[in-house]
Amino acid sequence: MDDPVSDAASLTPELVRDELREWLGDNWDPDLSLLDWRQRLVSSRWAVPSWPARWHGRGWPAWTEDIVAAEMARQGVVGTPVGSGMGLVAPTLLAHGPDPLRERFLPAILTGQETWCQLFSEPGSGSDLAGLTTRAEADGEEWVVNGQKVWNTSAHHADFGMLLVRTDWNAPKHRGITYLALPMDQAGVLVRPLRQINGHASFNEVFLTDARAPLDHVIGDVGDGWRVAQTTLAYERRFGAFFSGRRYDPAPRRAFAEARAEAEEHFKPYIWYPQRAGRVDLLIEQARTTGQAGDPVVRQAVARTLALQKVSGWTAERARVARATGRQPGPEGSIGKLALSGVARSAAAAHSLIAKSSALLAGPDAPLAGTITEILVSVPAQSIAGGTDEIQRNILAERILGLPREPSDDRNRPFRDLPRNL
Ligand SMILES: Cc1cc2nc3c(=O)[nH]c(=O)nc-3n(C[C@H](O)[C@H](O)[C@H](O)COP(=O)(O)OP(=O)(O)OC[C@H]3O[C@@H](n4cnc5c(N)ncnc54)[C@H](O)[C@@H]3O)c2cc1C
- Classify residue 410: in a domain, yes or no: no
- Classify residue 317: in a domain, yes or no: yes
Q: What is the DSSP string of 264-331?
A: HHHHGGGTTHHHHTT-GGGHHHHHHHTT-TT-HHHHHHHHHHHHHHHHHHHHHHHHHHHHHTTPPP-T
Are the beta carbons of 52 and 126 closer than 8 angstroms? Answer: no
Question: Is there a single domain that holds both residue 223 and residue 279?
Answer: no
CA diameter of the chain: 72
Mean pLDDT, the chain, rounded, equals: 92
Residue whose CA is at the smallest distance from ligand 1 atom 29 = 127
Does residue 384 line the site of ligand 1, with CB under 6 A? yes
pLDDT in tens, 169-190: 999 999 999 999 999 999 999 9
Probe target for ligand 1 pocket from 89, 117, 120, 121, with the most ligand atoms within 8 Å of CB: 121
- Look at residue 243 in the predicted model and tell me its pLDDT: 39
- Look at residue 249 in the predicted model and tell me its pLDDT: 57
Find the domain containing 199 and state its range: 116-228
Q: Can you tell me which atom of ligand 1 is nearest the CA of 118?
A: 9
Question: Is there a single domain that holds both residue 297 and residue 382?
Answer: yes
Does residue 94 line the site of ligand 1, with CB under 6 A? no
Q: pLDDT class for 231, splitting at 50, 70, 90?
A: very high
Strand partners, 205: 150, 192
DSSP-derived secondary structure letter, 407:
P
Does residue 196 line the site of ligand 1, with CB under 6 A? no
- Look at residue 35 in the predicted model and tell me its pLDDT: 97
Domain count, the chain: 2
pLDDT in tens, 312-338: 999 888 888 888 887 877 777 889 899
- Classify residue 339: in a domain, yes or no: yes
- Classify residue 36: in a domain, yes or no: no
End-to-end CA distance of the chain: 53
- Look at residue 250 in the predicted model and tell me its pLDDT: 58
C-alpha to C-alpha distances, 10 to 5, 14, 61, 67, 241, nearest whole angstrom: 11, 11, 11, 15, 28
pLDDT > 70? residue 43: yes
Probe target for ligand 1 pocket from 153, 388, 395, 420, with the most ligand atoms within 8 Å of CB: 388
Question: Is there a single domain that holds both residue 279 and residue 218?
Answer: no
Q: Give alpha helix (H) positions in 189-295.
A: 225-237, 254-267, 273-276, 283-289
Q: pLDDT class for 117, splitting at 50, 70, 90?
A: very high
**Which sequence positions are flagged as catalytic?**
236
Contacts of 65 (CB under 8 A, 6+ apart): 48, 49, 50, 324
Torsion of the alpha carbons at 381, 385, 389 and 390, rounded to the nearest 10: 120
Does residue 203 line the site of ligand 1, with CB under 6 A? yes
Are the beta carbons of 58 and 45 closer than 8 angstroms? Answer: yes
The CATH number for 178's domain is 2.40.110.10
pLDDT in tens, 262-306: 988 989 999 999 999 999 999 999 999 999 999 999 999 999 999
* Of 219 and 332, more confident: 219
Residue whose CA is at the smallest distance from ligand 1 atom 38 = 127
Residue whose CA is at the smallest distance from ligand 1 atom 51 = 385
For ligand 1, the distance from its centroid to the CA atom of residue 391, given in whole angstroms, is 9
pTM of the model: 0.92
For ligand 1, the distance from its centroid to the CA atom of residue 300, given in whole angstroms, is 32
pLDDT > 50? residue 242: no
For ligand 1, the distance from its centroid to the CA atom of residue 419, given in whole angstroms, is 20
What's the rounded Cα separation, in Å, for the pair 137 and 213?
A: 10
What's the rounded Cα separation, in Å, for the pair 168 and 302?
A: 52
